[in-house]
Chain A
Amino acid sequence: AQSVTQLDSHVSVSEGTPVLLRCNYSSSYSPSLFWYVQHPNKGLQLLLKYTSAATLVKGINGFEAEFKKSETSFHLTKPSAHMSDAAEYFCVVSEGSYDKVIFGPGTSLSVIP
Protein backbone atom coordinates (compact mmCIF):
# COMPACT_ATOMS: atom_id res chain seq x y z
CA ALA A 1 0.00 0.00 0.00
CA GLN A 2 1.09 3.52 -0.71
CA SER A 3 1.83 6.02 2.03
CA VAL A 4 3.69 9.29 2.41
CA THR A 5 5.38 10.63 5.52
CA GLN A 6 6.54 14.20 5.78
CA LEU A 7 8.86 14.18 8.73
CA ASP A 8 8.38 17.79 9.79
CA SER A 9 5.03 19.49 10.12
CA HIS A 10 6.74 22.87 10.30
CA VAL A 11 10.17 24.14 9.21
CA SER A 12 11.52 27.61 9.87
CA VAL A 13 14.61 29.00 8.11
CA SER A 14 16.25 32.38 7.76
CA GLU A 15 16.19 34.12 4.42
CA GLY A 16 19.24 33.14 2.36
CA THR A 17 19.85 29.84 4.18
CA PRO A 18 19.26 26.35 2.76
CA VAL A 19 15.88 24.64 2.84
CA LEU A 20 15.38 20.91 3.48
CA LEU A 21 11.88 19.41 3.53
CA ARG A 22 11.87 15.68 4.18
CA CYS A 23 9.62 13.07 2.59
CA ASN A 24 9.60 9.28 2.89
CA TYR A 25 7.25 7.06 0.95
CA SER A 26 6.03 3.52 0.86
CA SER A 27 5.02 1.95 -2.42
CA SER A 28 4.59 -1.55 -3.77
CA TYR A 29 5.67 -0.57 -7.25
CA SER A 30 7.92 1.94 -8.94
CA PRO A 31 6.16 5.14 -7.99
CA SER A 32 5.97 8.57 -9.48
CA LEU A 33 6.77 11.22 -6.89
CA PHE A 34 5.85 14.89 -6.83
CA TRP A 35 6.26 17.98 -4.72
CA TYR A 36 3.50 20.58 -4.75
CA VAL A 37 3.41 24.01 -3.10
CA GLN A 38 0.29 25.74 -1.81
CA HIS A 39 0.36 29.42 -1.03
CA PRO A 40 -2.46 30.84 1.11
CA ASN A 41 -5.70 31.19 -0.84
CA LYS A 42 -4.08 29.84 -3.99
CA GLY A 43 -4.23 26.53 -5.82
CA LEU A 44 -1.64 23.79 -5.63
CA GLN A 45 1.32 24.30 -7.94
CA LEU A 46 3.64 21.54 -9.12
CA LEU A 47 7.26 22.18 -8.11
CA LEU A 48 8.81 19.05 -9.61
CA LYS A 49 8.20 15.40 -10.41
CA TYR A 50 10.15 12.15 -10.55
CA THR A 51 9.01 9.53 -13.03
CA SER A 52 11.88 7.00 -13.21
CA ALA A 53 14.24 9.15 -15.22
CA ALA A 54 17.15 11.01 -13.53
CA THR A 55 17.15 10.58 -9.75
CA LEU A 56 18.04 14.24 -9.19
CA VAL A 57 15.10 16.30 -10.29
CA LYS A 58 15.20 20.04 -10.80
CA GLY A 59 12.05 22.04 -10.43
CA ILE A 60 10.85 25.60 -10.54
CA ASN A 61 12.06 28.47 -8.35
CA GLY A 62 15.41 26.81 -7.61
CA PHE A 63 14.00 23.73 -5.88
CA GLU A 64 15.30 20.24 -6.48
CA ALA A 65 14.73 16.78 -5.05
CA GLU A 66 16.66 13.53 -5.07
CA PHE A 67 14.99 10.15 -5.37
CA LYS A 68 16.77 7.58 -3.19
CA LYS A 69 15.20 4.17 -3.64
CA SER A 70 17.32 2.50 -0.95
CA GLU A 71 16.13 5.05 1.60
CA THR A 72 12.61 5.41 0.11
CA SER A 73 13.11 9.16 0.33
CA PHE A 74 12.39 12.13 -1.89
CA HIS A 75 13.61 15.15 0.06
CA LEU A 76 13.10 18.68 -1.31
CA THR A 77 15.95 21.18 -1.12
CA LYS A 78 16.77 24.73 -2.11
CA PRO A 79 20.18 26.36 -1.60
CA SER A 80 18.90 29.74 -0.50
CA ALA A 81 15.45 30.51 0.89
CA HIS A 82 13.48 33.52 -0.26
CA MET A 83 10.63 35.20 1.58
CA SER A 84 8.27 34.18 -1.22
CA ASP A 85 9.00 30.49 -0.47
CA ALA A 86 6.88 30.65 2.69
CA ALA A 87 4.01 28.24 1.99
CA GLU A 88 2.70 24.72 2.57
CA TYR A 89 4.56 21.95 0.76
CA PHE A 90 3.12 18.54 -0.08
CA CYS A 91 4.95 15.39 -1.09
CA VAL A 92 2.83 13.14 -3.31
CA VAL A 93 3.19 9.52 -4.44
CA SER A 94 1.36 7.99 -7.36
CA GLU A 95 1.31 4.41 -8.60
CA GLY A 96 0.38 3.81 -12.18
CA SER A 97 -2.86 5.72 -12.32
CA TYR A 98 -4.22 8.74 -10.58
CA ASP A 99 -6.81 6.82 -8.67
CA LYS A 100 -3.92 5.96 -6.34
CA VAL A 101 -2.56 9.43 -5.64
CA ILE A 102 -1.59 9.93 -2.01
CA PHE A 103 -0.71 13.33 -0.54
CA GLY A 104 1.47 13.68 2.52
CA PRO A 105 0.18 15.74 5.44
CA GLY A 106 2.22 18.76 4.40
CA THR A 107 5.11 20.81 5.77
CA SER A 108 4.62 24.47 6.55
CA LEU A 109 7.71 26.49 5.62
CA SER A 110 8.34 29.82 7.34
CA VAL A 111 11.10 32.15 6.15
CA ILE A 112 12.45 34.62 8.67
CA PRO A 113 13.82 37.92 7.34
Chain B
Amino acid sequence: ETGVTQSPTHLIKTRGQQVTLRCSSQSGHNTVSWYQQALGQGPQFIFQYYREEENGRGNFPPRFSGLQFPNYSSELNVNALELDDSALYLCASSLKGLAGDNEQFFGPGTRLTVL
Protein backbone atom coordinates (compact mmCIF):
# COMPACT_ATOMS: atom_id res chain seq x y z
CA GLU B 1 0.00 0.00 0.00
CA THR B 2 1.50 3.30 -1.07
CA GLY B 3 0.86 6.49 0.85
CA VAL B 4 -0.17 9.90 -0.40
CA THR B 5 2.42 11.53 -2.62
CA GLN B 6 2.67 15.11 -3.84
CA SER B 7 4.72 16.80 -6.51
CA PRO B 8 6.70 18.90 -6.71
CA THR B 9 8.13 19.23 -3.22
CA HIS B 10 9.16 22.84 -3.71
CA LEU B 11 8.18 25.46 -6.26
CA ILE B 12 9.05 29.11 -6.84
CA LYS B 13 6.80 31.32 -8.96
CA THR B 14 6.32 35.03 -9.53
CA ARG B 15 3.21 37.11 -9.05
CA GLY B 16 0.62 36.69 -11.79
CA GLN B 17 1.83 33.27 -12.86
CA GLN B 18 -0.17 30.06 -12.73
CA VAL B 19 0.77 26.87 -10.89
CA THR B 20 -0.38 23.25 -10.87
CA LEU B 21 0.23 20.98 -7.90
CA ARG B 22 -0.32 17.24 -8.06
CA CYS B 23 -1.42 14.60 -5.60
CA SER B 24 -1.64 10.83 -5.81
CA SER B 25 -4.07 9.43 -3.30
CA GLN B 26 -3.52 6.36 -1.17
CA SER B 27 -4.48 3.09 -2.81
CA GLY B 28 -8.21 2.42 -2.45
CA HIS B 29 -9.15 5.98 -1.49
CA ASN B 30 -11.80 7.84 -3.50
CA THR B 31 -11.70 11.30 -1.91
CA VAL B 32 -9.05 14.00 -2.02
CA SER B 33 -8.98 17.19 0.03
CA TRP B 34 -6.62 20.14 -0.40
CA TYR B 35 -5.42 22.46 2.33
CA GLN B 36 -3.32 25.61 2.47
CA GLN B 37 -1.00 25.99 5.46
CA ALA B 38 0.56 29.42 5.82
CA LEU B 39 3.68 29.70 7.94
CA GLY B 40 2.89 29.35 11.64
CA GLN B 41 -0.79 28.56 11.08
CA GLY B 42 -3.03 25.54 10.92
CA PRO B 43 -4.10 24.12 7.56
CA GLN B 44 -7.13 25.74 5.96
CA PHE B 45 -9.53 23.70 3.87
CA ILE B 46 -9.55 24.69 0.18
CA PHE B 47 -11.84 22.06 -1.36
CA GLN B 48 -12.59 18.38 -1.59
CA TYR B 49 -13.14 16.10 -4.57
CA TYR B 50 -15.16 12.91 -4.47
CA ARG B 51 -15.55 10.74 -7.56
CA GLU B 52 -14.27 13.53 -9.79
CA GLU B 53 -16.76 16.13 -8.50
CA GLU B 54 -16.13 19.02 -6.13
CA ASN B 55 -17.74 18.02 -2.84
CA GLY B 56 -17.21 21.11 -0.74
CA ARG B 57 -15.22 24.31 -0.75
CA GLY B 58 -13.65 26.55 1.85
CA ASN B 59 -13.28 30.33 1.75
CA PHE B 60 -10.96 30.52 -1.27
CA PRO B 61 -11.50 32.55 -4.46
CA PRO B 62 -12.32 30.93 -7.84
CA ARG B 63 -8.72 31.28 -9.02
CA PHE B 64 -8.14 28.21 -6.86
CA SER B 65 -9.50 25.29 -8.86
CA GLY B 66 -9.04 21.55 -8.94
CA LEU B 67 -9.52 18.32 -10.75
CA GLN B 68 -9.82 14.69 -9.78
CA PHE B 69 -9.07 11.99 -12.30
CA PRO B 70 -10.62 8.53 -12.71
CA ASN B 71 -7.69 7.01 -10.81
CA TYR B 72 -8.55 9.44 -7.96
CA SER B 73 -5.36 11.43 -8.28
CA SER B 74 -5.88 15.17 -8.15
CA GLU B 75 -4.54 18.54 -9.22
CA LEU B 76 -4.75 21.93 -7.55
CA ASN B 77 -4.48 24.88 -9.92
CA VAL B 78 -3.92 28.45 -8.80
CA ASN B 79 -4.16 31.29 -11.32
CA ALA B 80 -2.92 34.86 -11.02
CA LEU B 81 -0.63 34.05 -8.11
CA GLU B 82 -0.37 36.55 -5.28
CA LEU B 83 2.34 36.91 -2.66
CA ASP B 84 -0.07 35.65 0.03
CA ASP B 85 -0.41 32.37 -1.83
CA SER B 86 3.03 31.43 -0.51
CA ALA B 87 2.35 28.45 1.74
CA LEU B 88 2.60 24.71 2.20
CA TYR B 89 -0.14 22.99 0.19
CA LEU B 90 -1.29 19.71 1.65
CA CYS B 91 -3.26 16.98 -0.01
CA ALA B 92 -5.16 14.38 1.99
CA SER B 93 -6.94 11.27 0.77
CA SER B 94 -9.68 9.25 2.42
CA LEU B 95 -12.29 6.62 1.69
CA LYS B 96 -15.68 8.26 1.83
CA GLY B 97 -18.11 6.16 3.81
CA LEU B 98 -19.81 7.30 6.99
CA ALA B 99 -19.65 11.06 6.83
CA GLY B 100 -17.22 12.60 9.25
CA ASP B 101 -15.78 9.28 10.29
CA ASN B 102 -13.09 8.77 7.68
CA GLU B 103 -9.46 9.24 8.53
CA GLN B 104 -7.59 11.53 6.19
CA PHE B 105 -4.07 10.54 5.20
CA PHE B 106 -1.86 13.50 4.40
CA GLY B 107 0.93 13.86 1.91
CA PRO B 108 4.17 15.68 2.77
CA GLY B 109 3.04 18.84 0.99
CA THR B 110 4.29 21.17 -1.71
CA ARG B 111 6.04 24.32 -0.54
CA LEU B 112 5.05 27.18 -2.89
CA THR B 113 6.94 30.46 -2.78
CA VAL B 114 5.58 33.43 -4.74
CA LEU B 115 8.03 36.25 -5.39
Which A residues fall within an 8 A CB radius of B? 4, 31-32, 36, 41-46, 49, 51, 90, 94-106
Q: Is B104's CB within 8 Å of the partner chain A?
A: yes
Expressed in whole angstroms, the Cα–Cα distance for A94 and B35 within the complex equals 14
Stretch binding the partner chain, chosen from B14-22, B62-70, B72-80, B106-114: B106-114
Taking a contact as CB atoms closer than 8 A, the residue among B40, B41, B55, B104 that contacts A97 in the complex is: B55
- Interchain CB contact under 8 A, B103 and A97: no
- Interchain CB contact under 8 A, B106 and A106: no
Which B residues fall within an 8 A CB radius of A? 4, 31, 33, 35, 40-45, 47-48, 55-58, 90, 92, 94, 99-109
* Contact residues in A for B94 (Cβ distance below 8 Å): 98
Asked, given contacts A97-B100, A98-B94, A106-B42, whether A42 binds B48 with beta carbons under 8 Å apart, the answer is no
- Interchain CB contact under 8 A, B44 and A103: yes
Expressed in whole angstroms, the Cα–Cα distance for A106 and B35 within the complex equals 15
* Contact residues in A for B90 (Cβ distance below 8 Å): 43-44
- Interchain CB contact under 8 A, A98 and B100: yes
Asked, given contacts A44-B43, A103-B44, whether A51 binds B108 with beta carbons under 8 Å apart, the answer is no
- Interchain CB contact under 8 A, A51 and B109: no
- Interchain CB contact under 8 A, B41 and A95: no
